[in-house]
Amino acid sequence: MLKSIRNSGTHKMLAFAALIVIYIFFAIAGNNFTSVSTTLNILASSYYVGFLALGVTFVIITGGIDLSIGAVMMCSALVGGQLYRNVGLPIWAVLIAMIAFGTLIGWVNGLLVTKLKLPPFIATLGMMMVSLGLGSIITGTSTKNFPTILEPDGWFSRVFFRTESGFPMGVVYLIIFFIFTFIILNKTKIGRYIYAIGSNEEAVRLSGIKVNVWKGLAFVISGFAAGLGSIFYAATYTVIIPNTGNGIELQAIAAVVIGGTSLSGGKGSLTGTMIGVFIMSILKNGLISMNLPAPFQTFFTGIVVLGAVLIDVYRNKKANKVKKLS
Amino acid sequence: MSELLLNMEGVEKYFPGVHALKKCCFDLRKGEVHALVGENGAGKSTLMKVLTGIFIPESGQITLESKCVNFKSPRQAQLAGISIVHQELNLMNHLTAAQNIFIGRESDGLFLNEKSINDKTLELFKKLNIKLDPEEKVGNLSVSHQQMIEIAKAISYDAKIIIFDEPTATLTDVEIEELFKIMNELKSQGVGMVYISHRMDEIKKISDRVTVLRDGEYIGTEDSAKVKIDDIIHMMVGRITYEEHKKISDNKEKPPVVLKVENMSSKDVNNVSFELHKGEILGFAGLIGAGRTELARLIFGADKKTTGEIYLDGKKVNVKSPHDAVRLGIGYLSEDRKRYGLSLGMSVANNIVMPNLDEYITAGIISEKKIKKIASEYVDKINIKTPSVGQLVKNLSGGNQQKVIIAKWLLKNSDILIFDEPTRGIDVGAKSEIYKIINKLAKSGKSIIIISSELPELLRMSDRVLVMCEGTHTATLELDQINQNTIMKYATQH
Ligand SMILES: Nc1ncnc2c1ncn2[C@@H]1O[C@H](COP(=O)(O)OP(=O)(O)OP(=O)(O)O)[C@@H](O)[C@H]1O
Ligand SMILES: [Mg+2]
């Protein structure tokens, strides 16, 4: 028992230590990094990536990948904007529609992978482009605005972005969603089968389990999270421009990998993913506080991803050695 | 005679290019162990996969307790009370033992109950005398423990029918005893069991009846107590000729030493020194865990040694990796061939030529024709049963997959060859083929090390035997000293 905790815990501990080290580094090197406003920015810039990352962790643990999440999030925000501005739906209905849209795409991804046997990479790459195009088609390539805090329906911004006093509301929902997904992954059958499929899909099938159902469900969860993420993206930025948001999925996937989830499946944790998300947003805001431009953020994120994977590979090797000896 | 549990009749199964089952039949009674034997590729596993809903047969009738059944998925067979231990391990390495055993049966509701499955697993382990922690990750266990987990899982379904497809290939003697004990217990509870194995002594020992398949056809069923092993073998393959035991030669002069190992040590190996002569077959004897495989891996550069020197033809060499070893002319056929020895998704031909690919490339282009030709030659030579050399290795039967690896290293033509459990899972006919090949290699001047847990194999093949016990070299037996008692004495003394 102790042993298994220790095994799965080390990477998380390392990631957490890295988070602290990076934070301290910027606290010393950056300007005003520890100020309230920067802290709020750190939190605010982790919302939507956080939702995406938590969702896609499920797919990655099954040994798959979901490249569509970024585009789905943008598309779902555009669909929402269209429904709100042009169709005139009340905002609460719009929000439900946004989540439903993301979930629907996730379901389609699941079908493509399980029923039509497409490799996840291809299926979700295709759906990424489909959503990207769809967003532009539906809106006629026009920008969509969500209500800001001062406009009518401004409660949307207060509830999902910041309260009038500046409290970051998104972080509350992110934590709630984290707890929710954590329970699903660690305490229910759904999670057990998702880990099991990632570890050895054939063995799960031979154990008489409907692999397609559970694998498909992982994509549905990922799509649902993308739909949810679109709400927080809309609340944070309020202006949604078609054909933007490229590479958000890669940020989310990078966060998952930094958190120690293995792209070959069977191994990973949501706690790790959360740490990964915060490492990335600390990095982003830290570099801004050092007055370094955006490309530096991309550059250093890349370095962190490589470092995280290297540590994992090295640790696995060591663990294997111990295994052989004992 | 007890009542009929299961009856299969006229089962037909085709794979592309292979007629795997031809009007095959099989039956099983309550409370009996029914052995199923046949050459590699005879169709044993396929027949059992048809029964468990993994393969859908083209035609045939299956009756379970006098009801006609037609399973379309493993799940349906499981619900009907049939469980199976497959020939290959099917475990989820990242999950614990308990989570593996109770996969699909975690709890009634949505939420997991780890404590309850851990308790149930512990109970099962007690019954099977397995000394493991239910919460240990399966990936951290040895192959034989993993196999015991598979067995525990199959038993935990409380099935009416349990199928064991070569369960003992990776088990130690002690574990085999435990398995037989539990099988006898299940027998008395009325469970019907199918037992597939290539080990004739086990079949005599545990089974009530034995059915022979050959080339997908039903050959016959005999009473295990009455039938002679030779007759079973005859039904399987026709007569086979065994290699003669070694004769003690009058020639006192030993050929030159090609490999000298001095003071080899690591975590599991304790200061072992020995010499290997040209054209000699040296057996490594010892119980499981004696350090034989570990010693071989040190020589091959696959693991790190703490001390030790290797001399080839009297010259000190530095073997730091398998790549070095292969370059210096040492070949090693791993005991875990599935994991380390094959690219399952590639063709037979491509697997065979893999280490030698350079020889089949002219001006940067791979010559498929040459590859096919040489591969076909080796397929014939050791009798690999495959519709063509283009067949993917994953579609071959278990035993034939193993022969592909042997072909691969034969082609590599190393001067020193280490065979680690070369005939595990291989049928009696092919076994004697492999013995012949090994002897021929030795005659042609290759030096050979054989690691084997089957004593008769070592007795038959070795010129000398090196005995190990708990990592220590306890004796080197010359040809006239090699016999079962002496080997066992040194293998257990320490
Ligand atoms: N999935 C598959 N696709 C194509 N051919 C297959 C497949 N599975 C088995 N075969 C072929 O069917 C035949 C019977 O194979 P099977 O695995 O039943 O043999 P077996 O009697 O279990 O042999 P072994 O003792 O080696 O395990 C073989 O010729 C094999 O190549
Ligand atoms: Mg078989």
Write a three-state SS string for chain A: CHHHHHHHHHHHHHHHHHHHHHHHHHHHHCCCCCCHHHHHHHHHCCHHHHHHHHHHHHHHHCCCCCCCHHHHHHHHHHHHHHHHHHHCCCHHHHHHHHHHHHHHHHHHHHHHHHCCCCCHHHHHHHHHHHHHHHHHHHHCCCCEECCCCCCCCCHHHHHHCECCCCCEHHHHHHHHHHHHHHHHHHHEHHHHHHHHHHHHHHHHHHCCCCHHHHHHHHHHHHHHHHHHHHHHHHHHHCEECCCCCCCHHHHHHHHHHHCCCCCCCCCCCHHHHHHHHHHHHHHHHHHHHCCCCHHHHHHHHHHHHHHHHHHHHHHHHHHHHHHHHC
Q: How far apart, in whole angstroms, are the C-alpha atoms of residue B296 and residue B45?
A: 32
CA of B171 to the centre of ligand 2 (A): 17
Q: What is the pLDDT of residues A70-116, one digit of tens each?
A: 999 999 999 999 999 999 899 999 999 999 999 999 999 999 999 99
Q: How far apart, in whole angstroms, are the C-alpha atoms of residue A267 and residue B137?
A: 12
CA of B397 to the centre of ligand 2 (A): 5
Q: Which of A67-76, A251-260, B339-348 has the highest mean pLDDT?
A: A67-76
Does B46 touch chain A if contact means CB atoms closer than 8 Å?
no
Q: How far apart, in whole angstroms, are the C-alpha atoms of residue B121 and residue B101?
A: 8
Is A81 within 8 Å of A237 (Cβ atoms)? Answer: no
Task: Say which residues have a Cβ less than 8 Å from residue A226's Cβ, sequence separation at least 6.
Answer: A51, A52, A55, A68, A69, A70, A72, A73, A76, A102, A105, A106
Assign B468 a pLDDT band (cuts: 50, 70, 90). Answer: very high
Is B252 contained in some domain? no
Task: Say which residues have a Cβ less than 8 Å from residue A133's Cβ, sequence separation at least 6.
Answer: none
State the first-to-last Cα distance of chain B, in angstroms, to the nearest integer. 50
* pLDDT at residue A196 is higher than 60: yes
Please judge whether A189 and B137 are an interchain contact, meaning their C-beta atoms are less than 8 angstroms apart. Answer: no
Q: What is the pLDDT of residues B423-442, one digit of tens each?
A: 887 787 778 878 888 888 89
Q: What are the backbone dihedrals phi and psi of residue B262, each rounded to the nearest 5 degrees, phi first?
A: -125, 130
Residues of chain A positioned with their CB less than 8 A from the CB of B139: 323
Please judge whether A209 and B104 are an interchain contact, meaning their C-beta atoms are less than 8 angstroms apart. Answer: yes
pLDDT for position B316: 93
Q: Please tell me the least confidently modeled range out of B332-346, B382-396, B423-437, B456-470.
A: B332-346
For chains A and B, CB pairs below 8 A equal: 79
* pLDDT at residue B312 is higher than 80: yes
Tell me, rounded to whole angstroms, the distance of Cα A98 from its chain centroid. Answer: 16
Residue type at B116? S
Angle, nearest 10°, between helix axes A91-114 and A69-82? 150
* B95, B96, B101: best to mutate for the A interface, most A CBs within 10 A: B95
Residues of A with CB under 8 A from a CB of B: 1, 3-4, 7, 187-193, 195-196, 198-200, 202-210, 266-267, 323-325
Of all protein residues, the one whose alpha carbon is nearest to atom 31 of ligand 1 is B396
Residues of chain B positioned with their CB less than 8 A from the CB of A192: 95, 99, 103, 106, 112
Task: Say which residues have a Cβ less than 8 Å from residue A165's Cβ, sequence separation at least 6.
Answer: none
Of all residues in chain A, the one with the smallest CA distance to B106 is A189
Same domain flag for B84 and B155: yes
Could you give the ipTM of this predicted complex? 0.83
Is B250 contained in some domain? no
Q: How far apart, in whole angstroms, are the C-alpha atoms of residue B169 and residue B197?
A: 8
Q: How far apart, in whole angstroms, are the C-alpha atoms of residue B486 and residue B467?
A: 10
Q: How far apart, in whole angstroms, are the C-alpha atoms of residue A250 and residue A302?
A: 11
pLDDT for position B242: 57
Please judge whether B103 and A267 are an interchain contact, meaning their C-beta atoms are less than 8 angstroms apart. Answer: no
pLDDT for position B240: 57
Is B204 contained in some domain? yes
Q: What is the 3-state secondary structure (H, E, C) of chain B?
A: CCCEEEEEEEEEEEECCEEEEEEEEEEEECCCEEEEECCCCCCHHHHHHHHCCCCCCCEEEEEECCEEECCCCHHHHHHCCEEEECCCCCCCCCCEHHHHHCCCCCCCCCECCHHHHHHHHHHHHHHHCCCCCCCCEHHHCCHHHHHHHHHHHHHHCCCCEEEEECHHHHCCHHHHHHHHHHHHHHHHCCCEEEEECCCHHHHHHHCCEEEEEECCEEEEEEECCCCCHHHHHHHHHCCCCCCCCCCCCCCCCCCCEEEEEEEEECCCCECEEEEEECCCEEEEECCCCCCHHHHHHHHCCCCCCCEEEEEECCEEECCCCHHHHHHCCEEEECCCHHHHCCCCCCEHHHHHHHHHHHHHEECCEECHHHHHHHHHHHHHHCCCCCCCCCCEHHHCCHHHHHHHHHHHHHHHCCCEEEEECCCCCCCHHHHHHHHHHHHHHHHCCCEEEEECCCHHHHHHHCCEEEEEECCEEEEEECHHHCCHHHHHHHHHCC
CA of B396 to the centre of ligand 2 (A): 9
Does B92 touch chain A if contact means CB atoms closer than 8 Å?
yes
The minimum-distance atom of ligand 1 relative to the CA of B44 is 21
Pairing of strands A239-240, A144-145: antiparallel
Which residues approach ligand 1 with their CB closer than 6 A? B 15, 18, 20, 38, 40-46, 87, 385, 395-400, 427
Q: What is the pLDDT of residues A14-30, one digit of tens each?
A: 888 889 999 999 999 88
Is B376 contained in some domain? yes
Please judge whether B92 and A267 are an interchain contact, meaning their C-beta atoms are less than 8 angstroms apart. Answer: no
Tell me the CA distances in angstroms from B359 to B206, B352, B353, B367, B376, one per residue in order. 49, 13, 9, 9, 16
Domain CATH for B415: 3.40.50.300
Does B484 touch chain A if contact means CB atoms closer than 8 Å?
no
Four-residue CA torsion sign, B142, B146, B151, B153? positive
Same domain flag for B221 and B264: no
CA A188 to chain B, closest CA, distance in angstroms equals 4
Question: Mean pLDDT of all residues in chain B?
Answer: 88
Number of domains in chain B: 2
Both structure tokens of B321: 């990796």
Is B247 contained in some domain? no
Of all protein residues, the one whose alpha carbon is nearest to atom 25 of ligand 1 is B40
Same domain flag for B288 and B147: no
Please judge whether A266 and B92 are an interchain contact, meaning their C-beta atoms are less than 8 angstroms apart. Answer: yes
CA of B397 to the centre of ligand 1 (A): 4
Q: What is the pLDDT of residues A117-152, one digit of tens each?
A: 999 999 999 999 999 999 999 999 899 999 888 888
The minimum-distance atom of ligand 1 relative to the CA of B87 is 27
Q: Which of B55, B198, B396, B403 to probe ligand 1 with, by most ligand atoms within 8 A of CB?
A: B396
* pLDDT at residue A324 is higher than 60: no
Please judge whether B94 and A266 are an interchain contact, meaning their C-beta atoms are less than 8 angstroms apart. Answer: yes
Assign A1 a pLDDT band (cuts: 50, 70, 90). Answer: very low
Q: What are the backbone dihedrals phi and psi of residue A56, each rounded to the nearest 5 degrees, phi first?
A: -70, -20
Same domain flag for B192 and B267: no
Of the listed ligands, the closest to the CA of B14 is 1
Q: How far apart, in whole angstroms, are the C-alpha atoms of residue B485 and residue B200?
A: 22
Is A103 within 8 Å of A220 (Cβ atoms)? Answer: yes
* pLDDT at residue A6 is higher than 50: no
**Beta partners for B473?**
B468
Task: Say which residues have a Cβ less than 8 Å from residue A99's Cβ, sequence separation at least 6.
Answer: A76, A224, A227, A228, A231
Tell me the CA distances in angstroms from B127 to A1, A319, B143, B306, one per residue in order. 22, 31, 20, 40
Is A61 within 8 Å of A118 (Cβ atoms)? Answer: no
* pLDDT at residue A223 is higher than 90: yes
The rounded percent of chain B whose pLDDT value lies above 70 is 95
Task: Say which residues have a Cβ less than 8 Å from residue B388's Cβ, sequence separation at least 6.
Answer: B17, B348
Q: How far apart, in whole angstroms, are the C-alpha atoms of residue B421 and residue B399?
A: 13
Both structure tokens of B161: 């029918």
Of all protein residues, the one whose alpha carbon is nearest to atom 8 of ligand 1 is B395
Residue with tokens 């690999």: B384
Assign B455 a pLDDT band (cuts: 50, 70, 90). Answer: confident
Both structure tokens of A280: 């990335």
Domain that holds residue B484: 257-491
pLDDT for position A312: 72
Is B385 within 8 Å of B397 (Cβ atoms)? Answer: yes
The partner residue sitting opposite A267, judged by closest CB among B86, B94, B112, is B94
Q: What is the pLDDT of residues B190-202, one digit of tens each?
A: 999 999 998 888 9
Mean pLDDT in residue range B352-376: 84
Residues of chain B positioned with their CB less than 8 A from the CB of A211: none
CA of B402 to the centre of ligand 2 (A): 12
Please judge whether B74 and A208 are an interchain contact, meaning their C-beta atoms are less than 8 angstroms apart. Answer: yes
Residue type at A281? S
Mean pLDDT in residue range A294-306: 85
pLDDT for position A295: 86
Please judge whether A266 and B136 are an interchain contact, meaning their C-beta atoms are less than 8 angstroms apart. Answer: no
Question: Pick from B342, B350, B434: which is nearest to B384 by CA?
Answer: B434
Tell me, rounded to whole angstroms, the distance of Cα B4 from its chain centroid. Answer: 32
Is B343 contained in some domain? yes
Q: What is the pLDDT of residues B46-76, one digit of tens each?
A: 999 999 999 999 999 999 998 999 999 999 9
Both structure tokens of B194: 């199918």
Is B243 contained in some domain? no
State the number of CA atoms in the 13 A half-sphere of A70 facing the CB: 19
Task: Say which residues have a Cβ less than 8 Å from residue B67's Cβ, sequence separation at least 6.
Answer: none
* pLDDT at residue A319 is higher than 60: no
Q: What is the pLDDT of residues B106-155, one digit of tens each?
A: 888 889 999 999 999 999 999 888 989 999 999 888 888 999 999 999 99
Residues of chain B positioned with their CB less than 8 A from the CB of A324: 303
Domain A2-325 in CATH 1.10.10: no
* pLDDT at residue B337 is higher than 80: no
pLDDT for position B31: 94
Please judge whether A203 and B95 are an interchain contact, meaning their C-beta atoms are less than 8 angstroms apart. Answer: no
Tell me the CA distances in angstroms from B386 to B42, B75, B357, one per residue in order. 11, 30, 21
Please judge whether B73 and A208 are an interchain contact, meaning their C-beta atoms are less than 8 angstroms apart. Answer: yes
Is B48 within 8 Å of B197 (Cβ atoms)? Answer: no
Assign B239 a pLDDT band (cuts: 50, 70, 90). Answer: low
pLDDT for position A38: 86
The rounded percent of chain A whose pLDDT value lies above 70 is 93
* pLDDT at residue B181 is higher than 60: yes
Please judge whether A189 and B93 are an interchain contact, meaning their C-beta atoms are less than 8 angstroms apart. Answer: no
Same domain flag for B141 and B204: yes
Q: What are the backbone dihedrals phi and psi of residue A135, each rounded to the nearest 5 degrees, phi first?
A: -60, -45
Same domain flag for B217 and B275: no
CA of B54 to the centre of ligand 2 (A): 14
Residues of chain B positioned with their CB less than 8 A from the CB of A193: 103
Q: What is the pLDDT of residues B29-50, one digit of tens each?
A: 999 999 999 988 899 999 999 9
Assign A208 a pLDDT band (cuts: 50, 70, 90). Answer: confident
Residues of chain A positioned with their CB less than 8 A from the CB of B133: 1
* pLDDT at residue B336 is higher than 80: no
The minimum-distance atom of ligand 1 relative to the CA of B49 is 18
Both structure tokens of A65: 């990948």
Q: Please tell me the least confidently modeled range out of A289-293, B66-70, B337-341, B355-359.
A: B337-341
CA of A264 to the centre of ligand 2 (A): 29
pLDDT for position A8: 52
